[in-house]
Structure formats: structure tokens, C-alpha cells
Amino acid sequence: MRPEDQLPSPPAAGEFPSSRTATHAEPERYKPPPTPVPDGSSWRVLALVAAVTIGCLVMVVVLGYVLLNVVTTSCTVGFAGTDLNITVEGGGGGPSCDQAVAKVGDQTGIGSAYRTSATGTLMCRYKLPDGLTYTVRDRGALKVYGNAACAALQSKTAEAKKAADMPDPEGPLAVTKSSNQVRRQ
């Protein structure tokens, strides 16, 4: 028998068959990829993420504030001892509504405001330069308080202010004492 025809002997314990043959190379061991070395730019990425996050939070707060002030709110306030009530509509929520009605009460000499529902005859409705719309209602025969509130509101409109600044084209009025007649000067 020739040596080429003989079968190879089994490998010994702990020995790989490839190590016995010259035609096969030993397999390479697994090597993990090299760990990237920080180049100092990682703090820039972190700063960018923080800036974007803070910017988004600021936008949410600003947007929320704007939406709360733009949303139309209304309240109706009555005045003690009268049938007068004034409804205020506009942005800014309940506190500005109460403050706006209190101003009208101070101008007309009516005091002691309280929240109520809208009742009575519609007397007037004015949108003032502050962006709020005032609706005055009153009951009774004379509606004295309603007329006073309407006059106070009308004097605050942009048209009334413009008219007050314009001179009378026919000249000032004069009253003669002897005859109590009004004549142009």
C-alpha cells in the first residue's frame, strides 16, 4: 500500500484538523471594529440639540399665550340697584372683561358690579379701539343708566374721537344773553 492511499488518523483531543494539513490556514479570530476616538465635536451636537429643544419650548409658550389672548371671551356684568347690564366680548379672558366693565361703571357713576346674564332691551353696541365690543342692555321706562353707559362708550369710539378733533365748518356757536338765541359767529 502506498502512503497516499492511507487514511489520515483522527485528530488528537483539542487539535483542529486544519492545523495538520498544509493546505488549510488557521481561521482568523474575530476582531471588533476600532472604537471611534472623539474629535471634540460631540459637544457641538449636544449644544445644537439643546438649542433646538429650548427653541421649541419657547415657541410652545408663545403660541399658547397668543392663542389664549386671541380666543374670544365674553362676560356680562350687572350693576347693583339698576336693571343695567353690559356684555363685553373680546380677547384677554375674564379679568380684562371685569376690568373693562368696571371702567364703564366708573365713568357713568354706577358702582358695585357683579356677573349676571344678559337681560333687557338692547340699547347700543360699540367696538372700542382696545378691541373689545361692549353691548349695553337696560330695562325700565326711561333706561337712564343704559343711556348714560351708551353715551360714555360712544365718546370712547374712534369715530367720536375723530369728530371731537375736527372744527365745526360753520364756526363756533354763541348764545346771546338777552334773547337766549343761538347764532353763528
In tens, the pLDDT along 130-155 reads 788 889 999 988 888 899 889 988 88
d(CA 114, CA 109) in angstroms, rounded, equals 15
Residue 181 lies in a domain: no
- pLDDT above 80: residue 67: no
| Structural domain boundaries enclosing 130 | 73-165
- pLDDT above 80: residue 127: yes
Residue 114 lies in a domain: yes
Residue 47 lies in a domain: no
Domain count, the chain: 1
Element (H, E) at 93: helix 93-108
Cβ(113)–Cβ(96) below 8 Å: no
The pLDDT, as a whole number, for residue 175 is 47
d(CA 30, CA 33) in angstroms, rounded, equals 9
Mean pLDDT of 99-118: 71
Residue 67 lies in a domain: no
DSSP-H helix ranges across 35-143: 42-70, 93-108
- pLDDT above 70: residue 109: no
State the pLDDT confidence band at 88, using cuts at 50, 70 and 90: confident
Question: Burial code of 143-177, b = ≥16 C-beta within 10 A, e = fewer?
Answer: bebbbbbbebbeebeeeeeeeeeeeeeeeeeeeee
Mean pLDDT of 118-122: 91
d(CA 70, CA 73) in angstroms, rounded, equals 9
d(CA 136, CA 55) in angstroms, rounded, equals 45
Residue position matching grid coordinates 476600532: 34
Residue 182 lies in a domain: no
Does the reported pTM lie above 0.75? Answer: no
Listed in sequence order, the residues at least 6 apart from 170 whose beta carbon sits closer than 8 Å to its beta carbon are 184
Residue 148 lies in a domain: yes
Residue position matching grid coordinates 356684568: 77
Residue 85 lies in a domain: yes
Residue position matching grid coordinates 471588533: 32
d(CA 80, CA 114) in angstroms, rounded, equals 8
d(CA 137, CA 118) in angstroms, rounded, equals 7
Residue 84 lies in a domain: yes
